[in-house]
Chains A and B, each alone.
Chain A
């Protein structure tokens, strides 16, 4: 008993010490940040030469039927069910695409690589992906390119040379700005905020948190970051973590950021069950269906997202255009079916648009 207590206390002491050294928001990555301006001035779009990968001797697929596989980070969460639906919608509309979604049941790069590898062997014409890790996925994607397969990413990028195009839902700093501005508006510009994220190793979330920290420091310096907790993609765990945050910080906590489509509704649920609707704001990325109960009750004012169905739809349209040869390196825009013309940014990225803010007035119109 003594040994246990001693070991525990020593361990705690060591670990707590390292916590004090962190200055930026925990959970952010260490890449350079680029906060947008505090008002509504859009960022200056810098033209970059095309930096995407090139397939080796792709067969002429113009107008022919192609088989496409979509390998998201994981299957079984609402967000990727929505992107999968968008892909299926586009495939149906185009009429000459056979698309299916398949992926790991856990957000695990090891398994995702194996999935992609198998589909390369089975001879698909195109691969759509949302990467669990941008660098680790590169070798297998390059292998696909070498086999003449068209590769387009969406939601979570790989290194640019491993895919031909990446459909970006919104720029990292744009998402960060939308989230932080929404939070600042609700809490009145100052107060303690905490973050519930998936894991610290998820690249998108890490980028967003880093950009949020930079933007908040620049434009809302009175927002005080309290802490970040991990909750994987588990609903119940996210709920428990959010509840712990509420209990720990008490009145000091004015807002919770939910960084995934699982964390946000779970945090809203935690706030609801703790009877803190109205005193703790919940701002985050989420699908409208998951958030409807909370937005309709007024517990959550706004939900930031892009439309993942549109994202999947756009990704499929881009892949078709690439396979047909109508989208070439150096293009400045691409026609994406019912979404119209989408802009090319950063060399080989295609921007879906500005983040969409769901609130009480419009959330009822969506079903994903």
Chain B
């Protein structure tokens, strides 16, 4: 896995993204304005945070389908802790984050301790966590949060949306961990060949546990931001999030078989998808047309990457 191979897909993606941005900007003059771009940054923060953690997950050769349900569950718990249990809002937020993180930990536990394949384990918890969200909330929403809470989802610092700062910080941290630390190297090793990694002394189970817990934490954080952005909680929040996240990560060059992928790739993939969704809408394409384009771009981009990468086996 040399640097040149790594960069191959990301370079194609970067070129594709630039082309897409140029085309979209030419189709609508409202697209490439600072206001719109910052707004899009705000809207992609939730998917972005989860995608950072999902990159680690997929690099180890695993997958997490329950992130959307963890988001929904955390959102509901936030409301329940604050309104029904009467906790002060900061405490409710921290407790809800802890619960979401714990949900991620349970995923990791089931996968490492019981050896359940990640697809199945998280398929089961997708249903379970969503069901818990529905049951606990009994389909009621919680609203009426104090004004200061809305800062996370709707506020700005120096003209840039708050959650975009958060996403930027998280991206830097994730990139450093994945690219420059032993933990990151262990992640790649597990994805490339788990048995070899185990034999070479890497604590595979502990690493995986951390990664799935982090996915839970990121989903929970995304939940807090989302609730703050829309000022209410609903048990169906985050439905379908996992597909958006996985699409972004895979588009970014992370191999679903594990062992390959970068944070910068994921970021590019997310930017491309968000740009398409927004740019196409601005140039008059309706919702259904946009999803067709995204599907074609996904297959096309991966195809392009695969064709350039003929040496890489399945």
Binding site for B on A (CB under 8 A): 15, 27, 29-30, 75, 100, 102-106, 108-111, 113-115, 117-119, 121-123, 133, 135-139, 199-201, 206
Contacts and interface: CB of A to CB of B under 8 A. Distances in A.
B143 interface: yes
Contact of A200 (B43, B134, B291): B134
Nearest to B42: A117
Contacts of B30: 121-123
Contacts of A119: 281
B232 A117 contact: no
B143 A199 contact: no
A contacts with B: majority SS: loop
Interface stretch (B210-218, B233-241, B305-313): B233-241
Interface stretch (B59-67, B177-185, B247-255, B282-290): B282-290
A201 B76 CA distance: 12
Select the residue from A100, A137, A200, A206 with max chain B CB neighbours within 10 A. A200
B207 interface: no
B140 interface: yes
Interface string B283-301: 0101110010000000000
Contacts of A75: 287-288
A136 B286 contact: no
B229 A135 contact: no
A139 B231 contact: yes
Contacts of B139: 27, 199-201, 206
B36 interface: yes
A122 B282 contact: yes
Nearest to A119: B281
A111 B143 CA distance: 20
B140 A30 contact: yes
A168 to B, nearest CB: 21
Contact of B240 (A102, A108, A206): A108
Given A106-B240, A206-B139, A201 B234 contact: yes
A122 B281 contact: yes
A30 B140 CA distance: 8
Contact of A133 (B234, B278, B282): B234
Select the residue from B39, B150, B154 with max chain A CB neighbours within 10 A. B39
A313 B162 CA distance: 41
B138 A200 contact: yes
5 contacts: A109-B237, A118-B278, A133-B234, A135-B231, A199-B139
A121 B36 contact: yes
B141 interface: yes
B141 A135 contact: yes
Given A75-B287, A138-B231, A200-B139, A121 B282 contact: yes
Contacts of B284: 122
Select the residue from B143, B236, B239 with max chain A CB neighbours within 10 A. B236
A113 B235 CA distance: 17
Contacts of A103: 287
Given A75-B287, A122-B28, 6 more contacts: A15-B135, A105-B288, A114-B43, A121-B35, A135-B232, A201-B139
A29 B43 contact: no
B277 interface: yes
Contacts of A133: 141, 230, 232, 234
A85 B142 CA distance: 35
Contacts of A104: 287
Given A122-B281, A133-B232, A117 B39 contact: yes
Q: Which 9 interchain pairs have the tightest Cβ spacing?
A: A200-B139, A136-B230, A118-B281, A135-B232, A102-B286, A201-B139, A122-B282, A135-B143, A136-B232
Given A115-B281, A200-B134, A135 B43 contact: no
Interface in B29-51: 30, 35-36, 39, 43
A277 B35 CA distance: 59
A16 to B, nearest CB: 13
Contact of B141 (A27, A111, A199, A201): A201
B230 A113 contact: yes
A138 B235 CA distance: 18
Given A105-B288, A106-B240, A118 B282 contact: yes
Contacts of B39: 117, 121
Nearest to A206: B139
A342 B138 CA distance: 37
A118 B30 CA distance: 10
Contacts of B240: 106, 108
A201 B135 CA distance: 12
Contacts of A200: 134, 138-139
Given A114-B43, A200-B139, A136 B287 contact: no
A29 B226 CA distance: 23
